[in-house]
Amino acid sequence: MDPKSKRLSPDTVPSRLLKKYYKSGPRYTSYPTAPQFKSEFDREAVLAEWRKTNLPQGKGLSLYIHIPFCGKRCLYCGCYTETGHKKDTVKNYLEALQIEVDRTLGVIDPKRSLEQLALGGGTPTFLQPEFMAELVNGLKKSFNFSSAAERSLEIDPRSVNNDYLDALIELGFNRFSFGVQDLDPNVQKNVGRVQPEEKIVALLEHLRKRGQNAINIDLIYGLPGQTLESYAVTIDKVIKIRPSRVALFGYAHVPWVSPHQQALEQYSIPTPEERMALFGLAYNKFLDRGYAHVGMDHFALPDDELIKALKSRTLTRNFMGYTTRRGLDLIGIGASSISSVGATYAQNVKDVAKYLEQAGTDTWVKALILTSEDLLRRELILDLFCNFYLDLSALEQKFGIGFAEHFAPELEKLKEMQQDGLIEIAPDHLRVTDLGRFFIRNICMTFDQYLEADSQARYSKTL
Ligand code: SF4
């Protein structure tokens, strides 16, 4: 992959296309998407599907633990989290997590290899170091961790110091994901998340001194107050820090889902054209300095696992975004977490108080068993989102279909995108063009069987 071959120039994305494709639509961290999960479902049938995944030789596992606590709400936040909780609730929550783990391992064979652990939130480092140790040591006793397992967590730089990082290394964490968003003091003030750059730099330097180089930085473009000048400064500083991976997310303004975001409407929120210019600026700078573009919104240095996954076509996408090690069954533990095991999705209750009440019995509030048509479309959307390429004969063989007949209406709809230069349609493959990568959500929406029946208004904008 030659990064320079994918260089954007300001006129690469014509504003005619931005206007045309500026719609609401899913980010496809699952297919079918979460609004399709049913609150009326057959729990025993879902559990039976889970048991099936243990045999004949269960796939590896990916474990996600949700910590739904934060000190203060950032105004752009779209995650499920609660503020104002004290030590007692946190302690009770950790006990409830272990109870849910025990229940889960009554269904999923505990001997299955755990290949990936991710702690997200909320703020996992809201936990005091001794609580973090209790949680992780409990997980180590319960699951069969592979020696090569990736163990990652999200870190709010405001909530840790060097001692806490040392404790995380001792517990076995080997990938550290820092929520940075923007380094500009004015933007930080607008979004209610003030975190000095010097502190972030010092924390990363400490990790490096300890031999830890798998460091992610999350950034957001499209926040109120961002200008091309200010964002250029932020990106230059981030490049100087040299994380191995950067996630560059577009701000999703969905105040009907997250009402606290209304507070940002007092500032001017960047338009689609301004958003694309911010993204293009960051894109060019990252590619100039040796990062490769991965998927829709990630950048990585050549030795990062994400690049290896891209090359070996094992890049995947789940509720945390792009990740490595495709094909694992994902178990979500904790309030609001979602599991994706075999042909099922199951979502936990969001509210912490309810989660604590229900942990011993049943925390699922929504679930879905996928049909064979869902499984086919899930694979197709995953391939397009991760590889920007679809091998039609491989899909035909795997699912026993003829692509052209099965997807005749979709192919008809795609013709317009083909004319707009977003996708190449050939007898044996579909290929998303460099321009089409910026419209990948729109392209995948063509294959979403539920979208027309669903209200698109609930989703964020696709660009
Ligand atoms: S720290 Fe993260 S999860 Fe918590 S409010 Fe801020 S963005 Fe949301």
What's the pLDDT at 5?
Answer: 47
* Minimum CA distance residue for ligand 1 atom 5: 73
Q: What is the mean pLDDT of the chain?
A: 93
Kindly tell me if the per-residue pLDDT of 6 is higher than 80: no
Q: Which ligand 1 atom sits closest to the C-alpha of 181? A: 7
pLDDT band at 158 (very low <50, low <70, confident <90, very high): very high
Whether 122 is in the pocket of ligand 1, judged by its Cβ within 6 Å, is: yes
CA of 81 to the centre of ligand 1 (A): 7
Q: Please state the rounded mean pLDDT for residues 436-441.
A: 91
The full set of domain ranges for the chain reads: 29-369, 372-451
What angle do the packed helices 372-387 and 392-399 form, to 10 degrees?
160
At the topology level, CATH places domain 29-369 in pyruvate-formate lyase- activating enzyme (3.80.30)
Can you tell me the distance from the alpha carbon of 246 to that of 334, in angstroms, rounded to the nearest whole number?
A: 26
- The 8 Å CB, 24+ separation contacts for 313-319 are 313/386, 313/387, 315/386, 315/387, 316/382, 316/386, 317/28, 317/29, 317/382, 317/385, 317/386, 318/29, 318/30, 318/62, 318/64, 319/29, 319/30, 319/64
Q: Which ligand 1 atom sits closest to the C-alpha of 76? A: 7
Question: What pLDDT, in 10s, does the model give residues 205-223?
Answer: 999 999 999 999 999 999 9
Domain 372-451 has CATH 1.10.10.920: yes
What's the pLDDT at 321?
Answer: 81
pLDDT band at 4 (very low <50, low <70, confident <90, very high): very low
CA of 152 to the centre of ligand 1 (A): 17
Q: Please state the rounded mean pLDDT for residues 180-193.
A: 96
pLDDT band at 311 (very low <50, low <70, confident <90, very high): confident
Task: Choose between 4 and 124: higher pLDDT.
Answer: 124
Structure-token pair, residue 18: 């931005």
CA of 144 to the centre of ligand 1 (A): 31
What's the pLDDT at 312?
Answer: 84
Choose the residue to mutate in 75, 125, 156 for probing ligand 1, maximizing ligand atoms within 8 Å of C-beta.
156
What's the pLDDT at 119?
Answer: 98
Whether 70 is in the pocket of ligand 1, judged by its Cβ within 6 Å, is: yes
Structure-token pair, residue 300: 């990585």
372-451 shares the fold of 29-369: no
CA of 435 to the centre of ligand 1 (A): 32
Strand partners, 63: 117, 331
- Lowest mean per-residue pLDDT among 32-41, 76-85, 116-125, 373-382: 76-85
Kindly tell me if the per-residue pLDDT of 369 is higher than 50: yes
